[in-house]
Structure 1
Amino acid sequence: MARSIQKFNKLFNNLFDKRCISTRIRTITQQASSTAEDVDTHFGFKRVKQSEKPQKVYEVFEKVAIDYDKMNDVMSLGIHRLWKDYFMCSLSPTDNTKLLDVAGGTGDISFRFLNFLKTNNLKNCHVTVCDINPHMLEVGKVRSEKLNYDQNLISWKEGNAEELDFEDNSFNAYTISFGIRNCTHIHKVLAEAYRVLKPGGRFMCLEFSHLEYSYAQWLYDQYSFQVIPVLGQVLAGKWQPYQYLIESIRQFPTQENFKLMIEEAGFRQVSYENLTLGMVAIHTGFKL
């Protein structure tokens, strides 16, 4: 028992030291970024070329695809399941709903959509799951078959949220859950969402956000930066992807700023709702 405790303490201290060094390097990098012409976007707290970020994000999700649900449980204390349930209830699909779920590879949102259809006996509905990472899509496909979902009601599409391969005015609803903060050009994602929605269509985004109270933010920061990477190492054998995902949350715009971005993309009746003191927020808007 004593040997196990010593091993865990050694692992924790090693990770802590690495992340402290990373923080010091990050500070130096940020100071130099203003003079480096080829450094112009963020990857977590790091600064990278815009052309490099998609591949780096791809590699993160390639590493965590199998453990993605476990990762969400760790990052949200298991509450993400309730958030997603509420998210689908807020969407409240009706007959003839054609949903595009972007960055939804493992199927968490699309499966809730299918469950909603069955519970409410909705007709002529379909969901298209679009994700840039084929590994995430494969996890979703396998899950959908194991859970015996009607494969005629769901389709899977590899694609980039910034350049969707769909016709204009194709869908009644567009959802993106815990994905938009990983995109290099958020304004392009929003523009594409607007383009593929039919007039009257609804955009909905569920994303980690900024807590409403400073004390709550402080507590969540301690958990995020000191505990989550360690749990990632212990439970999934890798801490770096978890560190990036926590950093990416801190880089995401505030609720008000993201609301402005959605409005600038052309959406109307834009609003957001904080959940769990603002740990996450549901953003919504309509193409009118």
Structure 2
Amino acid sequence: MTKQAAEQARRKRAAEEPGAGESRVAFGEREVEASEKPALVRDVFRSVAGRYDVMNDLMSLGIHRLWKASMLDRLRPRAGEALLDVAGGTGDIAFRILDRTEGHADVTVLDLTEDMLRVGRDRAVDSGRLGPLHWVCGDAEALPLPDASFDAYTIAFGLRNVTHIDRALAEARRVLKPGGRFLCLEFSRVVLPALDRAYALWSDNVLPRLGGAVAGDRDSYVYLVESIRRFPAQAELAERIRAAGLEQVRYSNLSGGIAALHSAWRL
């Protein structure tokens, strides 16, 4: 796809996406006004913030740690770089970046939910990570950050929660420096039929029960399961990343497609 065609596709998709007060969008198993979704998502993560990391281990049987390690292997952060982790409130990706750079990268963590950021800040203090960490409460669709200010943009298990995916992708490109890297780790479409059936049973029957028993919030995990189901498949997301103006887009399936890692560059 040429740059001109990519820009035309991006504009067409932006025009088709629902705007505030103009249309209804999916929120779990129901539809809501587009303008209402950010507050509802914030309520979900406010509810589960205190048990979010424990639930990640239970939901993925600990495999999310391997997926995140793969993300960091692909990123290869270096000392002195400025990196932005979006939807990373509890600090999991940011801490991994600091560990790999021996505390010499400048990491900004942005999240829609202050409660998630509070968990991350507390974890940073408890683990003695008091270095170049910045905590920002903000929206992925309208980042309160300057143009061309980061060497890398990462988002892990957060893109499916935004109301307008293409706006978030456009914002990712905006804040990246020329030559900057984009990485998105997200649940995706399982590509192995037998695994697909087992994963569907796990998601539909086990995860909401775990959410109720461990986090005390079954409904939030019903929403999270449904958000995974509605998220674009690997190839579609790759095309939307290209349409946002990012280049050299690639993706790799993890654990048979339960998750996928997309990467791209701002050139």
Taking structure 2 as the reference length, the TM-score comes to 0.90
Distance 1:269 1:143 in 2: 35
- Deviation, structure 1 residue 153: 1.4
2:64 counterpart residue number: 80
**1:39·1:47 contact (CA, 8 Å) conserved in 2?**
no
1:108 counterpart residue number: 92
- Deviation, structure 1 residue 244: 0.6
Once the two structures are overlaid, the 10-residue window that deviates more, 133-142 or 153-162, is: 153-162
Q: Say whether residues 1:188 and 2:167 are aligned partners.
A: yes
Q: Say whether residues 1:166 and 2:145 are aligned partners.
A: yes
Decide which of 130, 133, 137 is 1:154's aligned counterpart.
133
1:49 counterpart letter in structure 2: E
Q: Say whether residues 1:197 and 2:176 are aligned partners.
A: yes
- Deviation, structure 1 residue 38: 6.1
Q: Say whether residues 1:139 and 2:150 are aligned partners.
A: no
Distance 1:205 1:211 in 2: 17
Distance 1:128 1:154 in 2: 6
Distance 1:220 1:263 in 2: 29
- Deviation, structure 1 residue 213: 1.6
1:195 counterpart letter in structure 2: R
1:43 counterpart residue number: 27
Decide which of 239, 246, 264 is 1:267's aligned counterpart.
246
Decide which of 220, 223, 232 is 1:253's aligned counterpart.
232
Distance 1:235 1:147 in 2: 24
- Matched residue of 1:167: which SS? coil
Greater length-normalized contact order (CA 8 Å, ≥ 6 residues apart) = 2
Distance 1:178 1:249 in 2: 9
Decide which of 73, 85, 91 is 1:89's aligned counterpart.
73
Distance 1:187 1:282 in 2: 17
- Aligned-residue CA RMSD (Å): 1.3
2:209 counterpart residue number: 230
Matches within 5 A, 1:204-215: 204-215=183-194
2:12 counterpart residue number: none
Decide which of 52, 58, 67 is 2:51's aligned counterpart.
67
Using the aligned pairs only, state the percent identity.
48
Distance 2:148 2:209 in 1: 45
Decide which of 91, 101, 105 is 1:117's aligned counterpart.
101
CA deviations over 1:62-91 (Å, ceiling 9, x no partner): 000000011211221111111112211110
- Matched residue of 1:157: which SS? strand
Taking structure 1 as the reference length, the TM-score comes to 0.83
Runs of 4+ in structure 1 off by over 4 angstroms are none
**1:45·1:251 contact (CA, 8 Å) conserved in 2?**
no
1:146 counterpart letter in structure 2: D
Give the number of aligned pairs.
247
- Structure 2: stretches of 5+ with no match in the other structure: 1-20
1:85 counterpart letter in structure 2: A
**1:210·1:279 contact (CA, 8 Å) conserved in 2?**
yes
Once the two structures are overlaid, the 10-residue window that deviates more, 42-51 or 256-265, is: 42-51
Distance 2:73 2:193 in 1: 30
Q: Say whether residues 1:287 and 2:266 are aligned partners.
A: yes
- Deviation, structure 1 residue 40: 2.1
1:232 counterpart letter in structure 2: G
2:18 counterpart residue number: none
1:57 counterpart letter in structure 2: V
- Deviation, structure 1 residue 46: 1.3
- Matched residue of 2:34: which SS? coil
- Matched residue of 2:101: which SS? helix
- Matched residue of 2:50: which SS? coil
- Matched residue of 1:110: which SS? helix
2:4 counterpart residue number: none
- Structure 1: stretches of 5+ with no match in the other structure: 1-36
Distance 2:53 2:131 in 1: 25
Distance 2:174 2:144 in 1: 11
Larger radius of gyration: 1
